[in-house]
Amino acid sequence: MRSILFPLLLLAVPAASASAQTAPAPASTANADYQVAAAISPLPQEFRATAQVLGYRAGTSGLVELRSGKGPFICLADDPNEQPRFHVACYHRTMEPFMLRGRELRAKGVTGAPMDSVRSAEAVAGKIKMPTAPASLYSQTSTTSAFDLATGATAGARALFVVYVPFATPETTGLVTRPAGNQPWLMNPGTPKAHIMFTPTM
């Protein structure tokens, strides 16, 4: 039986486009402390202090390390050039080769389905080192409000929690392939992007 790997859903954690990466960050979100606090906010409390955080600095292009960390998670700060949309995400660090490859392709102008095809093919071929155990992703997205440093929250943000199980199927997991009330379900079954979706109220 094919070994189960755990890559990351392409759309779950969008990276900045090459053109957006060169624009200066607005002053309101340029502060590193603000970016770090916002980036780690989707994580359970016990993982926040040790998370590595990648974000944005004026005068640099693309993501840079804002805070080092040796814990299980790497967190991505909100891209200040995509306002008013607010989006932060934290993924298990075993996913980093897959995530990094996505950022490399986007920087070359390869996006959308073509990027997904290249990255998935490389994962299947073993060119990208993938995790060998379940890997989680936590994110928050809002189109109406940004992270509030004073309260430590983002009003009205939509939370997302998934566990990646590439090539998994309904037969191997016992999960349905569509939303079923308050039950977990399997998205993209049988593909490198197969992952278990959970509702925020579970």
- The mean per-residue pLDDT over the stretch 99-103 comes to 92
Backbone angles phi, psi at 180, to 5 degrees: -140, 75
- The mean per-residue pLDDT over the stretch 61-80 comes to 94
Query: For 138-189, what is each residue's pLDDT tens digit?
Result: 999 999 988 999 999 999 899 999 998 878 899 999 999 999 888 999 998 9
- pTM comes to 0.80
What one-character-per-residue DSSP string does 116-174 give?
HHHHHHHHHTTSS---SS-EEEEEEEESS---BTTTTB-TTPEEEEEEE-TT--HHHH-
Where exactly are the structural domains of the chain?
18-198
Contacts with 54 (C-beta within 8 Å, 6 or more apart), sequence order: 39, 63, 64, 65, 66, 74, 75, 76, 77
Rg (CA), the chain: 17
Q: For position 3, what pLDDT does the model report?
A: 39
Instruction: Work out the number of other CB atoms within 10 angstroms of the CB of residue 145.
Output: 13
- Mean pLDDT in the chain? 83
Task: Name the percent of the chain lying above pLDDT 70.
Answer: 84
